[in-house]
A and B are shown apart, each in its own frame.
Chain A
């Protein structure tokens, strides 16, 4: 692992901990899904943790985040509490979106976390817009937009690339290239599979990075963020990665070999960092056990919190459709039938 950053042991251990938090949390989520505590779609980030953790470490608290439906990792790494994330996945009022959104729609305004968009490519123009606002308001905050490589085929990707460069918007685009969009391999959906090159063709600085290596991701992001803040220009990272689990809750994974998955697992982000730390005598079994048991405790507490969360009363069904003043006029739940 090359040390492009000034990285001390404590920071590396923290990064390992953050990745492990996401990993263990999502493994538990998969279990809770089979128990039907979590419903709907469940898109796991397992295998891609280094991207969210590496990127978030390079940001400031004012920076804006736009993510996709595969965003548990981003939410946790950004600083949303595990409790509020799990409660959201349970659909309870103590969830980060008050239970209205579920797994695909995690939001937290305080953390500048703008969700949770389940329309592929839908987040890109939004991110450009947030960046435009920050630029106009003369704020130093930048906007960071995560999306999968599948989104690159959508028109909204290309429209956003163009606008970001044309208007010199302070936005960091992060393509999480995990090689498959549901069951479709990149080479079957793109005439040019070098995605960074596409961004470059719009005149944007764009680089590829090993998305399985948290140190590299953080180093490259730090540089990108600096560039954006100083020059008020967009920047693009293509993080090469792999998802170890199926696309979502229902996926027979007929489109890829088990062998391929196993090969990628050998380079998994958690395992890589763990191995490096152990080899360099920065981590031992005992420390690792301590970290893991802290995380397991956090998970237990999150489950208790979610289990104790309340269901929103049906009388409030039509809440939060409009902002308060208009709601008063229009938001009364319609009972159907005769008035």
Chain B
């Protein structure tokens, strides 16, 4: 690949996120970080650790517990000419702010006939896997991806964790960024620049037999499954959606037209999932290229249970992906 890969650096996903925030703060005086415990505590998952000490209380703002209030303030500040980064601790609590996000941030431009715009970035942790039970394990990317007026990003790699925020903060419209909790501690490579525009899907692994379509916290599982499927003689292509709204339909369709088989791996519940939307797009626009029905591996229709074995059984897993792919070839080979 291109030369910016040569001078890469190893860091955790958390460190990559932090470096992105730092660059935003350095690049633009109008940017500040605001959220619950982002300052003195260092962020509930340690993402903003050390920033308060460096940038001070004017730019790293600890808020009270009032999601609707401070997210709304962030939206208002963006309207007023600032470039805020608002952190909602986790997507679980973002429901309390959803009115401000959906009824204000997403609509102001349109309702005002294009006079106003809301350049706010709202970051939130998401996902299951830490045994935090039903109220703390949600994957609701699809709820936000449903809303016209929002852009929704799901950085699955370290390089995206590092650079997507910078792209988002330059956008004139509200952008929601999901940071999956299971990625935070992982080590990975960060290059000297982003690999693509934030709204582009990327092929993470080239292949010809089958397309695995995924995003966010499921990408590492999908890459693992892809490696194992290679050993079983199934040559897999992995597409990382990166941007969940708007969807990069042309990259998705190009891959489907090449491989003729698709499995969508999505940590959301299957009913009403983003996977359902993707499947419909493929059906509408690439039906005649398909050699098998589109498959979805999603989370089981149950609030996430506390015990590990049940939580894991509820979530998409490497083995499920492998056996699903094998089944798609059973008739053929």
Which of A181, A189, A190, A321 has a CB less than 8 Å from the CB of B301? A321
How far apart sit A225 and B74, CA to CA, in the bound complex (Å)? 42
| A121 interfacial by beta-carbon distance below 8 Å | yes
Chain A residues contacting B135 (CB-CB under 8 Å) are: 104-105, 117-119
Output the least CB separation between A119 and chain B (Å).
Answer: 6
Chain B residues contacting A330 (CB-CB under 8 Å) are: 301
A105 touches B306 (CB 8 A): yes
B301 touches A40 (CB 8 A): no
| A334 interfacial by beta-carbon distance below 8 Å | yes
Given known contacts A153-B64, A153-B65, A317-B313, A118 and B37 CB-to-CB distance under 8 angstroms:
no
Output the least CB separation between B311 and chain A (Å).
Answer: 9
Interface size on B, residues (CB 8 A): 48
B36 touches A182 (CB 8 A): yes
A100 touches B305 (CB 8 A): yes
Chain A residues contacting B320 (CB-CB under 8 Å) are: 336-337
Output the least CB separation between A317 and chain B (Å).
Answer: 5
| B82 interfacial by beta-carbon distance below 8 Å | no
Interface residues of B in 305-333 (CB under 8 A from A): 305-310, 313-314, 316, 320, 323-324, 327-328
Output the least CB separation between B301 and chain A (Å).
Answer: 6
How far apart sit A104 and B304, CA to CA, in the bound complex (Å)? 13
Given known contacts A254-B42, A317-B314, A337-B295, A184 and B36 CB-to-CB distance under 8 angstroms:
yes
A102 touches B306 (CB 8 A): yes
Nearest CB in chain A to that of B298: its residue: A336
Which of B67, B92, B308, B324 has a CB less than 8 Å from the CB of A39? B308
Hey, what's the 0/1 contact readout for A159-191 against B, CB within 8 Å counting as 1? 000000000000000000000011110001110
Output the least CB separation between B31 and chain A (Å).
Answer: 22
Hey, what's the 0/1 contact readout for B38-73 against A, CB within 8 Å counting as 1? 001110100000000000000000111111110000
Nearest CB in chain B to that of A117: its residue: B135
| B130 interfacial by beta-carbon distance below 8 Å | yes
Interface residues of A in 198-230 (CB under 8 A from B): none
A337 touches B324 (CB 8 A): yes
How far apart sit A153 and B41, CA to CA, in the bound complex (Å)? 18
Chain A residues contacting B131 (CB-CB under 8 Å) are: 39-40, 91, 102
Hey, what's the 0/1 contact readout for A324-339 against B, CB within 8 Å counting as 1? 0000001101101110
Say which size band chain A's interface belongs to. Answer: 35 or more
How far apart sit A102 and B270, CA to CA, in the bound complex (Å)? 25
B65 touches A181 (CB 8 A): yes
Hey, what's the 0/1 contact readout for B125-164 against A, CB within 8 Å counting as 1? 0000011111110000000000000000000000000000
B41 touches A100 (CB 8 A): no
How far apart sit A330 and B306, CA to CA, in the bound complex (Å)? 22
Nearest CB in chain B to that of A151: its residue: B65
| A276 interfacial by beta-carbon distance below 8 Å | no
Given known contacts A189-B64, A338-B293, A182 and B69 CB-to-CB distance under 8 angstroms:
no
Hey, what's the 0/1 contact readout for B105-142 against A, CB within 8 Å counting as 1? 00000000000000000000000001111111000000
Which of B64, B66, B96, B133 has a CB less than 8 Å from the CB of A105? B133
B300 touches A318 (CB 8 A): yes
A-B contact count (CB 8 A): 140
| B81 interfacial by beta-carbon distance below 8 Å | no
A119 touches B93 (CB 8 A): yes
| B297 interfacial by beta-carbon distance below 8 Å | yes
Which of A101, A182, A337 has a CB less than 8 Å from the CB of B44? A182
| B200 interfacial by beta-carbon distance below 8 Å | no
| B302 interfacial by beta-carbon distance below 8 Å | yes
Nearest CB in chain B to that of A314: its residue: B313
Chain A residues contacting B80 (CB-CB under 8 Å) are: none
A104 touches B307 (CB 8 A): no
B130 touches A336 (CB 8 A): no
Chain B residues contacting A99 (CB-CB under 8 Å) are: 305-307
A337 touches B40 (CB 8 A): no
Output the least CB separation between B42 and chain A (Å).
Answer: 7
Which of B42, B133, B303 has a CB less than 8 Å from the CB of A321? B303
| B83 interfacial by beta-carbon distance below 8 Å | no
Interface residues of A in 248-305 (CB under 8 A from B): 252, 254-255
Which of A102, A118, A119, A184 has a CB less than 8 Å from the CB of B40? A184
B324 touches A336 (CB 8 A): yes
Chain B residues contacting A183 (CB-CB under 8 Å) are: 37, 40-42, 62
A314 touches B310 (CB 8 A): yes
Given known contacts A183-B41, A336-B297, A102 and B133 CB-to-CB distance under 8 angstroms:
yes
Which of B96, B134, B300 has a CB less than 8 Å from the CB of A333? B300
| A150 interfacial by beta-carbon distance below 8 Å | yes
Given known contacts A101-B133, A183-B37, A91 and B327 CB-to-CB distance under 8 angstroms:
no
Hey, what's the 0/1 contact readout for A84-105 against B, CB within 8 Å counting as 1? 0000000110000001111011
| B296 interfacial by beta-carbon distance below 8 Å | yes
Output the least CB separation between A190 and chain B (Å).
Answer: 7
Which of B41, B297, B309: most chain A CB closer than 10 A?
A: B41
| A27 interfacial by beta-carbon distance below 8 Å | no
Chain A residues contacting B306 (CB-CB under 8 Å) are: 39-40, 91, 99-102, 105
Chain A residues contacting B307 (CB-CB under 8 Å) are: 91-92, 99-100, 102, 311-312
Known: A40-B131, A182-B44. 4 other contacts (CB 8 A): A102-B131, A189-B65, A312-B305, A336-B320
Q: 29 A–B contact pairs at CB < 8 A?
A: A40-B130, A91-B308, A99-B306, A99-B307, A100-B307, A101-B134, A102-B131, A105-B306, A118-B133, A119-B93, A120-B65, A154-B67, A155-B69, A156-B96, A182-B36, A183-B40, A183-B42, A184-B36, A189-B63, A255-B41, A312-B307, A314-B313, A317-B314, A318-B300, A333-B300, A336-B296, A336-B320, A336-B324, A338-B295
**Interface residues in chain A, defined as those with a beta carbon under 8 Å from any beta carbon in chain B:** 39-41, 91-92, 99-102, 104-105, 117-121, 150-151, 153-156, 181-184, 188-190, 252, 254-255, 311-312, 314, 317-318, 321, 330-331, 333-334, 336-338
Instruction: Rank and list the top 6 A-B pairs by shortest CB-CB distance, nearest first.
Output: A183-B41, A91-B307, A153-B64, A102-B306, A189-B64, A337-B324
